[in-house]
């Protein structure tokens, strides 16, 4: 079923936004720190038109499900909550939003930690911006999307995912300072490409574990007398914290330093440094596993198989953890072959059914 079959007329406008994979800088965004995500080829597309019955109608092609909403209704659940959230945030900002028809289709995998929700929010906001000719910039789009996620989908996320979906592309790595929101787009290393494999482990504990880590970081920052852990650059400063706050803070401090080292590597475009980038990804995984404790055995296994495979510069879990996907930096041209071999070994040894998400096989 297409837009016309659902709503009886053609869409007025259409906009898309990609999912993202974070290469380095995990669990640093809500500590005012640094991140290095890149867009993935999978994206969400929103077709939009005006509704003339005073209700919003959202149709998801993936779910073959339509949700209709009267303004006075409570926040809907599921995919509609993200869209409704975007509309409500725009209204709070003072924009007049008429009743809308939305048709959504997406190739961004759901539940793998590749920001399908940010892609939906950013695509929705872009489509509204186009339809109503609003002067909203891309950073504001990301901020509104994050507000929608926090206030209407109930996820206390940082700003990385929405900024990545709004600003990044598949050829450039986004370096973002999440405190100042200053950013730059850096060319992807010419010798390398990325592989993303979903572990097949559902991210069950993700939201409770995520919120707990956030609280621990806030406690650590308070004990250290700083606004956020971003303000700590020397590891020694964290040593007297009680456990587990010491290890949580150690992850954030070392992870921020790793991102800043890779930023320098990418800025100087030194070809040999892609090996160092890979090593820092490996170190990031060890830190997420041992200090931040957001890995699970299957992710550790997948990362280990990746790291031991020739042609892989480095690998780590990506996103919030507790399941989901792993990302690897590999030699250019070898991604597909590496992903196939690694997946075979992983499925055999782990008992889970993983999936190669990048390189894509077409969708």
User: Considering 29, 32, 53, 161, which one is annotated as catalytic?
Assistant: 161
* Closer residue to ligand GLA in complex, CB, 26/193: 26
* Closer residue to ligand GLA in complex, CB, 39/131: 39
CA 277/CA 270 separation, integer angstroms? 11
> Rule CB under 6 A: which of 5-24 touch ligand GLA?
22
* Closer residue to ligand GLA in complex, CB, 284/309: 284
Q: What are phi and psi of 197, to 5 degrees?
A: -125, 130
Distances (CA, A) of 49 to 9, 54, 175, 238: 9, 13, 35, 53
301: left (phi over 0), alpha (psi -120 to 50) or beta: alpha
Task: Note whether 291 binds ligand GLA by CB under 6 A.
Answer: no
Q: Tokens standing for 190?
A: 């010419």
- Residue 109 neighbours by CB under 8 Å, 6+ apart: 19, 42, 116, 198, 325, 355, 357
Question: Is residue 86 a contact partner of residue 145, using CB atoms and an 8 Å limit?
Answer: yes
Q: How far is the CB of 207 from ligand GLA (least distance, A)?
A: 10
Q: How far is the CB of 27 from ligand GLA (least distance, A)?
A: 5
* Closer residue to ligand GLA in complex, CB, 157/232: 157
Q: Is 161 a catalytic residue?
A: yes
Contact track, ligand GLA, 148-187, x by CB under 6 A? ---------xx-xx--------------------------
Task: Note whether 216 binds ligand GLA by CB under 6 A.
Answer: no
Which of 29, 32, 121, 255 contacts ligand GLA by CB under 6 A?
29
Q: How far is the CB of 210 from ligand GLA (least distance, A)?
A: 6
CA 45/CA 63 separation, integer angstroms? 14
- Note the Cα 265 to chain centre separation in Å: 23
E-assigned strands of 31-142? 34-35, 37-50, 56-60, 65-69, 100-106
Task: Note whether 27 binds ligand GLA by CB under 6 A.
Answer: yes
Q: Is it true that the peptide bond before 359 is cis, omega within 30 degrees of 0?
A: yes
CA 41/CA 48 separation, integer angstroms? 22
Task: Note whether 292 binds ligand GLA by CB under 6 A.
Answer: no
Q: How far is the CB of 213 from ligand GLA (least distance, A)?
A: 9
* Closer residue to ligand GLA in complex, CB, 101/256: 256
Task: Note whether 319 binds ligand GLA by CB under 6 A.
Answer: yes
Question: Is residue 110 a contact partner of residue 116, using CB atoms and an 8 Å limit?
Answer: yes
Q: How far is the CB of 157 from ligand GLA (least distance, A)?
A: 3
Write out the catalytic residue numbers. Answer: 161
Q: Which residues bind ligand GLA (CB under 6 A)?
A: 22, 26-27, 29-30, 157-158, 160-161, 319-320
């Amino acid at each position: 079923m297409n837009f016309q079959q659902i709503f009886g007329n053609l869409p007025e406008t259409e906009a898309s936004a990609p999912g993202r994979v974070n290469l380095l800088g995990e669990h640093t965004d809500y500590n005012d720190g640094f991140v290095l995500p890149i867009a993935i080829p999978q994206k969400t597309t929103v077709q939009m038109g005006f509704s003339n019955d005073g209700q919003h109608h959202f149709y998801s092609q993936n779910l073959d499900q339509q949700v209709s909403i009267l303004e006075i209704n409570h926040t809907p659940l599921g995919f509609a909550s993200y869209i409704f959230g975007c509309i409500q945030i725009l209204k709070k900002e003072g924009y007049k939003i008429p009743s809308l028809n939305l048709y959504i289709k997406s190739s961004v995998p759901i539940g793998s930690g590749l920001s399908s929700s940010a892609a939906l929010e950013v695509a929705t906001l872009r489509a509204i911006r186009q339809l109503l000719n609003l002067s909203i910039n891309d950073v504001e789009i990301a901020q509104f999307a994050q507000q929608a996620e926090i206030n209407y989908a109930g996820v206390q996320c940082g700003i990385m995912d929405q900024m990545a979906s709004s600003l990044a592309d598949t050829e450039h790595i986004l370096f973002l300072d999440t405190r100042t929101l200053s950013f730059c787009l850096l060319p992807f290393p010419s010798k390398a490409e990325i592989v993303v494999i979903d572990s097949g482990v559902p991210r069950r504990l993700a939201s409770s574990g995520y919120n707990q880590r956030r609280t621990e970081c806030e406690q650590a920052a308070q004990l250290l007398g700083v606004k956020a852990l971003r303000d700590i650059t020397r590891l020694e400063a964290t040593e007297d914290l009680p456990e587990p706050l010491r290890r949580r803070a150690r992850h954030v401090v070392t992870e921020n330093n790793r991102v800043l080292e890779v930023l320098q590597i990418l800025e100087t475009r030194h070809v040999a440094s892609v090996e160092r980038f890979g090593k820092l990804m490996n170190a990031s995984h060890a830190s997420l596993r041992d200090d931040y404790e957001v890995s699970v055995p299957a992710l550790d296994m997948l990362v280990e198989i990746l790291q031991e495979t020739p042609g892989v510069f480095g690998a780590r879990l990506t996103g919030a953890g507790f399941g989901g996907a792993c990302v690897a930096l590999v030699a250019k041209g070898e991604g597909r072959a590496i992903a196939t071999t690694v997946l075979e070994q992983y499925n055999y040894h782990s008992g889970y059914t993983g999936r190669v998400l990048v390189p894509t096989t077409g969708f």
